[in-house]
């Protein structure tokens, strides 16, 4: 099909479904089948911007430790020939801002209560992992279609603060693209250790190609 483009070895990109200041979101599918996905791709004009790349890595680090029905889940991280992309769950529905607009700017009390409760549960799960979203707004709350009761999922953790990493000194010094050919990240796990992973920019983007080593986080 004309609207298909390969992404790594496993994925195909389809139509654009969203656009932000630094990223484009496109519907994606796996070559192996399965449900539709969403690919959040860094726009080419920001490929050389280390600060923007670090926002992507921060979102990947935040989402990889979160597993909650009201948080958009992360499936994969792709780094290939200058392309940086997050593969996430696809939510078929508008953001909360558009959802409100479709309803004349008002929600009935039961729907408003359900949406608030789900968003609060998602934030509580994030806070339990030491993650503070910092950019929660209607545009970052997605409302799924096709359910009798409202079902929402929070997205866009790009500016989240990872409190556990900061407390252990695994912040800016260990996270980011330290040279053009490498991708590094530092994520603190419950056992108090970090995973520092690197992958050449020319890799195929498959998780199995990522070489990882463990190292203790510095203590304060």
Least confident of 122-131, 146-155, 167-176: 167-176
The pLDDT assigned to 137 comes to: 94
Which two tokens mark 159?
A: 């500016």
**What's the pLDDT at 148?**
78
Q: Assess whether 135 carries a catalytic annotation.
A: yes
With vertex at residue 48, the alpha carbon angle to CA 45 and CA 54, rounded to the nearest 5 degrees, is 105
- pLDDT tens for each residue of 2-16: 578 999 999 999 999
> pTM for this structure?
0.72
User: From the candidates 89, 108, 135, 165, which is the catalytic residue?
Assistant: 135
Answer yes or no: is pLDDT of 84 > 80: yes
* pLDDT tens readout for residues 37-73: 999 999 999 888 888 888 888 888 889 889 999 999 9
């Amino acid at each position: 099909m004309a609207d298909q483009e390969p992404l790594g070895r496993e994925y195909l990109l389809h139509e654009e479904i969203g656009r932000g200041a630094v990223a484009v979101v496109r519907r994606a599918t796996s070559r192996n089948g399965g449900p539709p996905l969403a690919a959040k791709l860094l726009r080419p004009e920001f490929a050389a911007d280390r600060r923007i790349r670090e926002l992507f890595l921060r979102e990947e680090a935040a989402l990889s430790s979160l597993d909650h029905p009201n948080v958009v889940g992360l499936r994969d991280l792709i780094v290939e020939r200058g392309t940086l992309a997050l593969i996430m769950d696809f939510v078929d529905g508008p953001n909360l801002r558009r959802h409100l607009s479709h309803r004349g700017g008002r929600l009935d009390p039961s729907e408003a209560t359900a949406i608030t409760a789900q968003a609060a549960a998602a934030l509580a799960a994030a806070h339990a992992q030491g993650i503070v979203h910092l950019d929660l707004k209607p545009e970052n709350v997605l409302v799924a279609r096709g359910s009798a009761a409202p079902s929402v999922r929070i997205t866009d953790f790009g500016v989240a603060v990872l409190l556990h990493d900061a407390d252990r000194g695994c912040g800016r010094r260990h996270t980011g693209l330290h040279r053009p050919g490498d991708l590094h990240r530092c994520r603190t796990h419950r056992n108090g250790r970090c995973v520092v992973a690197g992958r050449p920019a020319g890799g195929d983007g498959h998780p199995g190609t990522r070489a990882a080593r463990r190292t203790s986080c510095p203590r304060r």
